[in-house]
Amino acid sequence: MTARILDGRRVADALLDELKVRVDARVAAGRSRPGLAVVLVGSDPASAVYVRNKRRAAEKVGIEAFDYDLPAGTSEAQILALIDRLNADPKIHGILVQLPLPGIPDASGLIRRIDPRKDVDGFHPENVGHLALRQFGLRPCTPRGIMTLLAHTDRPVRGRNATIVGVSNHVGRPMALELLIAGCTVTSCHKFTPREVLEARVRDADILVVAVGRPGIVPGEWVKPGAVVIDVGINRLDDGRLVGDVGYEAAAQQASWITPVPGGVGPMTVATLMQNTLEAAAAAQTFT
């Protein structure tokens, strides 16, 4: 078996085209254009690339991006003050603070300061709590984007065994909630999972989501024949190549569908951010 490629760029482009139609209709009806505040602190090259992609996506769908590029020495108190202003600004429907933040290892206080109704990343505890209670609101972008990808396969989700490798607050944990809601039997693996148990859970998975940030942590030979493999990891090797967390070549011989790295999950995260922003604007019922 050779896996079919689950092309995140293609699915994301289709979603962005759909969102543009909805934004244009919203504006034509006399309602305010959705506004997204993008806060970038410092000049980390990777963060700059991510933010640039998000700003381009906003422009493509007609969302107005408000850029706040702050120097690396910006204090947490200064960022909190900016968030307070953005929370109160009716032109802003979504607030994105690009992580990680230089000099601020724990951004939880900043995330909690964002109005949950404007938390388009879906990281606020209130929004994660809504997801846990099966009350869909602003959902974490990467897991929601993955669910959209899964809907573009010919494989069922309900009743399947799903294994998630990685339990981060932004991907692994909300991913488990998404798959539970979709009717999967979910196993989460983490740093305390013995290697032999990890292998067994991977081999049993009809849906495998790996989000660790360690190249090759899951050998492709472990993948169950016919499984859907979602590789969230993106790692740069010494030779400059970008690879995921799953051994791609071997996995592609086992899986029915597999996401490429790059071009799989990343574009869906960006497109879903735009989806959340439009939904936040719709919920705000703001008129010009």
Active site residues: 54, 98, 121
Query: How far is 144 from 139, CA to CA, in rounded Å?
Result: 6
129 neighbors 175 (Cβ within 8 angstroms): no
Of 245, 250, 197, residue with least CA distance to 222: 250
Flag whether 32 is marked binding: no
Query: How far is 35 from 90, CA to CA, in rounded Å?
Result: 9
H helix and E strand count, the chain: 10, 11
Phi, psi of 55 (to 5 degrees): -65, -40
As given in the structure block, the two tokens for residue 160 are 């399947």
Phi, psi of 231 (to 5 degrees): -105, 105
Flag whether 226 is marked binding: no
C-alpha radius of gyration, the chain, whole number: 19
Flag whether 234 is marked binding: yes
Counting Cβ atoms within 10 Å, is residue 255 exposed (0-12), middle (13-18) or buried (19+)? buried
Flag whether 167 is marked binding: yes
Q: Is 280 helix (H, G, I), strand (E, B) or coil?
A: helix
Binding-site residues: 166-168, 234
Binding-site residues for NADP(+): 166-168, 234
